[in-house]
Chain A
Amino acid sequence: MSTPLLSIENLDVAFHFQDGDYNAINHVSFNVYPNEVLGIVGESGCGKSLTSKAIMGILPENASVKQGSITFRETNLVTMKEKQWQKIRGDAISMISQEPMTSLNPLLTVGKQIAEVLKQHRSYSKKEMKEKTIALMKEVGLPRAEALYKSYPHQLSGGMRQRIVIAIALIASPQLIIADEPTTALDVTIQAQILDLFKNIKNTRNSSLIFISHDLGVIRQVCDRVVVMYAGRVVEQGKVADILYEPKHPYTKGLIQSIPDHTKRGQELYTIPGNVPGLKERKRGCPFADRCAHRMDICHTHFPDEVYVENQAVSCHLYTKEEVKHVSTIH
């Protein structure tokens, strides 16, 4: 493939507590290529959002990158100063957050909030900024954009607000857009509309997109490739089609089984037993071991190396051993 737009290598992000540092992200590596949509999937508490915050350089006060690199257009973002970050944010990388109800400033008109990005990064005249803003508002599916320009967030519905948030992320035509659970807080019908909007963005814009979701069903609709994260680690990554039809990691299999599906109508929806271990409960070895039906002794002591199985990269002892073939026949 071509050179990646964004390349994360061996990233560790830790939270600092009184009793020491706890890694919330462990040796995470993945690439984002130009014009692709990369999904990151996993249950909540798996470090998806934290990874995106690390890319934006907006980690919480008590967290920091311990090691590894995030390379964007050949620059390592991790070592950058705040001033340099500010030039990139909103302009080259932008982010769509999961809370459309609270992610807009209640006291500013929505038009101003979109145009603010241009004001920060471009030297357009006021008129040009307004024109561009209104054009984009139309593009993201807001009717009567001229009238909406002057409205306040509370006057809009959740779906419309999310379109505004998306417009904020698109206005400077960034090369990379991170969408963190952009549909989770919305009603199902609105969710479908917003997903359509993302498909549109994918087809019409020259941007790469990182699409974070806990729902593989949503990922399937918009993404080209997917990274599966569990408890701060990447456990499997590859093309969406490959992973969905031939998942390798037991966790991925569990996630796929729990996608609601019309063929399973009437049956109780599958859920993976157990919970994601808390930050302080994580032990050595594979974090999924306690919930895994195929766990072996080695799972409790060593985290497996990433190996290529067919088209995807997997970190699981089932595949690092010789008896790969034997195990895969079990299913």
Chain B
Amino acid sequence: MRYILYKLATFVATMTLVSIIIFFVFQLLPGNPAHIILGIEAEQAQIQQLEQELGLDKQATERYVDWVTGLFQADLGESLKYQLPVSDILVDRIPVTFSLGILSILLTIIIGIPLGILIARTKGKWISVVLSIMTQLGIAIPSFWFGFILILVFGVILSLFPTYGYVPWSEDFFGALRALFLPSLVIAISNIAVIIRYLRNTILDQANMEYVRTARCKGLTERKIMYGHILRNALIPVITILGLTIADTLGGSIIIENVFALPGLGNLLIESISSRDFPLVQSMVLYIAVLVITINFIVDLLYKVIDPRIRAKG
């Protein structure tokens, strides 16, 4: 119980700090935001009106409180460009990024874990060497460039996948899957490499543990030792890495949505930066950060459910 309370307290503290950081970074906008937004030719009356809308006539702390109260009432402010509540705009974009994230994490697990086991089991053989070179490359390659290459090979040369755009799931399930497959693979690639390397290390660490010898002395086959004993223990630390992976996936989708022209949050973020739609940028940055903190919080709790040692301590 104390563990949960501590985690909850840090969760709230981190949330608060993040909102403060975001708010004050946007306060640092050089010059008068109303000026920047409206351009140099704007008339004084227009500027004053916008200032009032943005609450610039109030103190910074007061504006922060207004902003946060607004957030609790699901009011993320209003986009300058679209003249719509930010929440309305996000509602359209979130499903795209969400699908991309889920698919990418699934790919990370489906590809990363079996290959991690394979690389550990073939230690010292050529398969393991080849895999380890591939993981090094997977980490070093700029993901969006890998996206270009996949577009070139699978989209243009082989015409297997569409190279850009998005179809909603409700319209065409397989169409959506095809549209999202390449981008999610691109986002997943470095995470896959990280999971493979990490799982390899945890498996090899666990394989030297005393309990593995006990299992071997029971006459279990290597397969049973691996799947019944080593893997469970080796996967627990991998859960933390998967938690970090989810954050990286969100970060990765910012760039990759722009490579594949997918109308998600990342795409909107870059679009609104170039149109200087700061209320929208501010809300989106906060939205993504809150997602990351929440996911990490859930992963922490999940850890507790899975590992009986920590379960007992609470």
Q: Please list the residues of chain A having a beta carbon within 8 angstroms of any beta carbon in chain B.
A: 56, 58, 82, 85-91, 94-95, 97, 99, 102-108, 113, 116-117, 120-121, 152, 154-155, 165, 168-169
The answer to whether B217 and A154 have CB atoms under 8 Å apart is: no
B-chain residues with CB within 8 Å of residue A107 when the two chains form the complex: 232-233, 236, 307-308
Q: Please list the residues of chain B having a beta carbon within 8 angstroms of any beta carbon in chain A.
A: 209-211, 213-222, 224, 228-229, 232-233, 236, 307-309, 312
A-chain residues with CB within 8 Å of residue B214 when the two chains form the complex: 97, 103-105, 113, 165, 168
5 tightest A-B contacts by CB?
A90-B219, A89-B219, A90-B218, A102-B210, A103-B210
The answer to whether B220 and A103 have CB atoms under 8 Å apart is: no
The answer to whether B309 and A120 have CB atoms under 8 Å apart is: no
The answer to whether A58 and B312 have CB atoms under 8 Å apart is: no
Identify A86's interface contact among B220, B228, B309, CB under 8 A: B220
B-chain residues with CB within 8 Å of residue A56 when the two chains form the complex: 217
What DSSP secondary structure best describes chain B's contact surface?
helix
The answer to whether B221 and A94 have CB atoms under 8 Å apart is: no
Identify A152's interface contact among B211, B228, B229, B309, CB under 8 A: B309
B-chain residues with CB within 8 Å of residue A99 when the two chains form the complex: 210
B-chain residues with CB within 8 Å of residue A94 when the two chains form the complex: 217-218
The complex places the Cα of A91 from the Cα of B218 at a distance, in Å, of: 7
A-chain residues with CB within 8 Å of residue B211 when the two chains form the complex: 102-106
The smallest beta-carbon distance between A80 and chain B, in angstroms, is 13
B-chain residues with CB within 8 Å of residue A87 when the two chains form the complex: 219
A-chain residues with CB within 8 Å of residue B215 when the two chains form the complex: 105, 116
Interface centre among B216, B218, B232 (most CB of A within 10 A): B218
The answer to whether A86 and B221 have CB atoms under 8 Å apart is: yes
Nearest to B217 among chain A residues (CB) is: A95
The answer to whether B216 and A89 have CB atoms under 8 Å apart is: yes
B-chain residues with CB within 8 Å of residue A168 when the two chains form the complex: 214, 218
B-chain residues with CB within 8 Å of residue A91 when the two chains form the complex: 219
Interface centre among B219, B228, B309 (most CB of A within 10 A): B219
The complex places the Cα of A197 from the Cα of B211 at a distance, in Å, of: 22
Identify B218's interface contact among A82, A106, A116, CB under 8 A: A116
B-chain residues with CB within 8 Å of residue A108 when the two chains form the complex: 229, 232
Identify B209's interface contact among A88, A102, A116, CB under 8 A: A102
The smallest beta-carbon distance between A62 and chain B, in angstroms, is 12
The smallest beta-carbon distance between A320 and chain B, in angstroms, is 39
The complex places the Cα of A171 from the Cα of B112 at a distance, in Å, of: 38
The smallest beta-carbon distance between B223 and chain A, in angstroms, is 11
The smallest beta-carbon distance between B162 and chain A, in angstroms, is 44
Nearest to B221 among chain A residues (CB) is: A86
Nearest to A112 among chain B residues (CB) is: B228
B-chain residues with CB within 8 Å of residue A120 when the two chains form the complex: 218-220, 224
The complex places the Cα of A90 from the Cα of B220 at a distance, in Å, of: 8
